[in-house]
Structure 1
């Protein structure tokens, strides 16, 4: 064999037996990922490999995806959250791609116990399927013809990256998706907090602590919604524009987001302490800056202001609890001491269907609503429906397109109401109150009633007295004569 041929064969053999290097972005059949190797996305934004939380004893290993090229290890996805690997000299953890196009994470100890695996539907055996880490952080399995068989973006952990979806409803799998927090700052196992869509109404998002709601979003219209939010990093001119979208298609209802061109690394994360935060990487301070947090204030937590109370987020510097118009604190002593659980009560009880509605603009609509009229109702039809239903205590409409509006109605206590201001997406809540003019939507003031009744009574007495004088012949009326001067 000549030297060029020998050199070529030697190079091929070396490449076959070398572990995966940082330049690789994929797994193929027969080349597993070992615990001391990583794969890096083609653009260099993300890496996948094994990591050990700093304070775990004994050392626990997890398979995860993290941001590549920044000094702070920031994990955005974890495969084996519920079953960790124990790092020791006798085990050899590895991630392999099988000929059935599945990923298998095993400890390599003895029989190679399976720790985690994908569950790709049965496919013909293939030696050419690949598992690729994309530059958006999505780890995907592709068939030989390019079909995506599995993707990490559909298996949420605690982080939402640009392009990921949180689904309210997914016809194919029949279940919603949630972000689930870590149990602790160094413990990736599932924590107590979760974030996702409300499957009962398909119109709002919740943050839960177990089964208890912690915070609730303002209801959306039920149709395609796009909003733009601008953020400024601290002490820099760097601006981050986030484009949020809620989409309703035939197969799924989901929320997703994208970023403006040139925006720094940005993510939404559900923390182990129960906050849904917006993080942006600062190249100046080399840290993650928190651009936003939800709930943003104590009084914006779910139901914090009690029945018929609301959190006024337009007050500065601290949002505070207030009673809706026509209501007063149910327990004034508790209210003044900063305890709002008892909420508010009506100043005057409702008199029935004869009571009108007071318009409250810029509000976050309460929870516990019923959606009326499907997808073809109008604002006028919504108002008429609530007006003729004596048990309806309020309604809200939101324009969808043309004259079509989304109609929400309430028949019980109003819980978790807020004031956002119209610039933050608040809508008008129409509240049924005693003493409201049904046609004009104006309150009949109690002072006006107190003035009218005495005047009316005095007028009647004067008329009776004048009639008595007339009968006695003591009073004669002379018409006034106009004069030209």
Structure 2
């Protein structure tokens, strides 16, 4: 696609302000529409532009951006205010860019409303300098870079720019496409690193992967493109002591070039062709249909070694639907010809792009990696690489193991850079055909005799062990039941509760230990005050395993609550508890594994929050409301959660919410309205005032927390982000004052303005303030909340003053014993999926 034909941009011609036409902006000078800052070499310009000839972005929208100054077709490579354009601009109401005396770049409209800022605090006299690489840098007097646009990319990846892959604080950065060819606001498509695996690059459509590069194998040059006989473009992965990052460079004779994520969902290398005065596409990905993520289905692979790449089944597999496969429909993938056994061997497949959904096992040699997989009957493949070819920080080994289906595998032409040797476990007969098992006839003759003797001996030992261990196991089960009933002396879950006759699978500790490779750090995905959380595979299913710390007394109480409560709760908006383990001092909970992060990890991340458009946020609000209604009214128990917050809302693959962490929940009797506790648990800012100050809690306490959560989803502001609501003690008071002043629509997060329904935003803001009222009796029941959110309401009452109590800006959960007012970290909050 010709980029210049697809995107036509024009500068807004307004009277130029008094700004020097050099390469920098300093304190006291401003940049306004019509004026530009040009890099020292004349390669790039910074200024205002307005997309033209676009129905999706009216011409009166102004954006601050960087474009090529030496290319006649205006091509924007970076946009500052993608989600907050200036609107209805005239020469008297034009926006301005200025550098404050605290080294912060601020873009504001004529009325002083901040549209975009770098959020930097430094020392004067700093300067914002546009470099000839296209990088806008805020420099301190000693030359230190306080902020740079290269660390906040838009849709374009320029030579010299870095995308963090691992170790560094910027790991997980993404390029995000324009919404449409004439609309710079964030689009659906993104390219970058999956922060949870860190070693591979993806092209996404929202949260759905479109294309994936293989896991990094330690190579330096990832790819090379030849534009003509003398021009080369090198893409490389660089490893230092601090980080691993992706970058690329041009040969000296190369013309302008950039990598870009297009609005149509392609990742392209574009080069400027001076002869045709147009951008030429030098590389376009995905190149083939079977290069698309998972196109060949489970256990299939894309064979790129043939002229027309096509799908094939991995060795030992056959098409799951032979007729559909023959007709070119590969989505059902392949199935095993023969079931695996633990003793089966491995077939090396060189020159492969390794599958997705691997687990990295740390600090393993090749031999140890092979043994790791071989000793685990559920392991179906492994791949190894030594990353120490460069100055890799920390563990320089890369042992990857797989369980279950193998997704998105390719055979690479010539086994080029980035290819792996995938060691695939094959069933006995298939392995024998491949020469994997059995090296001599003598061995085949000797094995039956040896095995027969071994089996007899092992059988005898097993029978003796089973007879002895049966009694022991019966005793353990009895002890387990007693411990669940009697370990806690708290007032949170009274003895004799009807919840104690739970039905929940007990998992052997040794099975959990094997699945997590003895609780290897490589499997850890979260950690908190009560222990650690691991991702593993049990019974062929991905699960999250929460191992409580042995020395945490509160952890024992939390464990008991979780087991007794969640085991009886079944709702699509509640996280599912799949099993538990109690052996000795070990207390372990096994949950369903959710592939997206907790809500707070996305909502308060400036780059990832773009995936939370308004329809998604509104659905999350309604889903959490339905989950609370189930707890309060529709389940066989009446339950008060007591710790509802963004960190305890987990998101599944479709961004549907599930309420988690029931360790502090409390069962109410049918006629019970409230309860009192001497242990106040929860998170300041979410806790209702009567609960935080007096220890009195009820269903209306959860309603208050839900109101705060709604405000966070509407505004995109964390309840404790006092720097974003200056002059107000918390988000609730800020929202209340905005509402009183008739500015309810201004509460909406700027990043959702293009996707939001103003009526829905106002409805949610109104309902949030009703939920967060100071008097618990004034707060609505969750049944009323759900009804209003699902059907809308024009007759909602006017909210009274919101509840408020003294709080700091701490974002941590707190526990307060009213007799000694001690503060301690409370619950595990960062269970995050890939």
| TM-score higher than 0.5 | yes
1:305 to 281, 291, 296: 296
1:259-298 to structure 2, matched below 5 A, reads 259-298=250-289
Inter-CA distance 248–296: structure 2 relative to 1 (3 Å threshold): farther
| C-alpha distance in 1 between matches for 2:164 and 2:145 | 19
Inter-CA distance 287–183: structure 2 relative to 1 (3 Å threshold): same
1:41-60 to structure 2, matched below 5 A, reads 41-55=39-53, 56-60=57-61
| C-alpha distance in 2 between matches for 1:407 and 1:130 | 46
| C-alpha distance in 2 between matches for 1:289 and 1:58 | 27
Give the aligned partner of residue 467 of structure 1: none
Give the aligned partner of residue 4 of structure 1: none
1:215 correspondence with 2:211 = yes
Give the aligned partner of residue 427 of structure 1: 420
1:88-103 to structure 2, matched below 5 A, reads 88-103=90-105
Contact 1:360 1:430 in 2 (8 A): yes
| C-alpha distance in 1 between matches for 2:167 and 2:49 | 32
Between structures 1 and 2, the one with greater helix share: 2
**What SS does structure 2 have at the residue aligned with 1:386?**
helix
Give the aligned partner of residue 380 of structure 1: 367
1:140 to 133, 137, 144: 137
| C-alpha distance in 2 between matches for 1:21 and 1:313 | 54
Measured after TM superposition, the shift of residue 237 of structure 1 is 3.4
Measured after TM superposition, the shift of residue 298 of structure 1 is 1.2
Contact 2:172 2:195 in 1 (8 A): yes
2:377 to 387, 390, 407: 390
Structure 2 gaps of 5+ residues are: 1-15, 390-395, 442-834
| C-alpha distance in 2 between matches for 1:247 and 1:132 | 28
1:412 correspondence with 2:382 = no
Inter-CA distance 332–180: structure 2 relative to 1 (3 Å threshold): same
1:370 correspondence with 2:359 = yes
**What SS does structure 2 have at the residue aligned with 1:382?**
helix
| C-alpha distance in 1 between matches for 2:248 and 2:62 | 31
| RMSD of aligned alpha carbons | 2.5
Give the aligned partner of residue 149 of structure 1: 146
Contact 1:398 1:406 in 2 (8 A): yes
Measured after TM superposition, the shift of residue 32 of structure 1 is 0.7
Measured after TM superposition, the shift of residue 59 of structure 1 is 2.3
**What SS does structure 1 have at the residue aligned with 2:19?**
coil
Give the aligned partner of residue 126 of structure 2: 129
| C-alpha distance in 2 between matches for 1:237 and 1:210 | 38
| C-alpha distance in 2 between matches for 1:364 and 1:148 | 38
| C-alpha distance in 2 between matches for 1:254 and 1:43 | 27
| C-alpha distance in 2 between matches for 1:182 and 1:18 | 29
1:22-37 to structure 2, matched below 5 A, reads 22=21, 24-37=22-35
**TM-score relative to the length of structure 1:** 0.80
Is the radius of gyration larger for structure 1 or structure 2? 1
| C-alpha distance in 1 between matches for 2:176 and 2:311 | 29
Give the aligned partner of residue 399 of structure 1: 386
**What SS does structure 2 have at the residue aligned with 1:380?**
helix
Inter-CA distance 249–196: structure 2 relative to 1 (3 Å threshold): farther
Give the aligned partner of residue 18 of structure 2: 19
Measured after TM superposition, the shift of residue 185 of structure 1 is 0.3
| C-alpha distance in 1 between matches for 2:74 and 2:162 | 24
Measured after TM superposition, the shift of residue 57 of structure 1 is 2.5
Inter-CA distance 155–425: structure 2 relative to 1 (3 Å threshold): closer
**What SS does structure 2 have at the residue aligned with 1:190?**
strand
| C-alpha distance in 1 between matches for 2:166 and 2:423 | 30
Give the aligned partner of residue 317 of structure 2: 327
**What SS does structure 2 have at the residue aligned with 1:304?**
coil
1:447-466 to structure 2, matched below 5 A, reads none
| C-alpha distance in 2 between matches for 1:365 and 1:172 | 26
1:30-50: per-residue Cα shift (whole Å, max 9, x none)? 221121111100001100101
| C-alpha distance in 2 between matches for 1:303 and 1:437 | 25
Measured after TM superposition, the shift of residue 228 of structure 1 is 5.8
Inter-CA distance 247–366: structure 2 relative to 1 (3 Å threshold): same
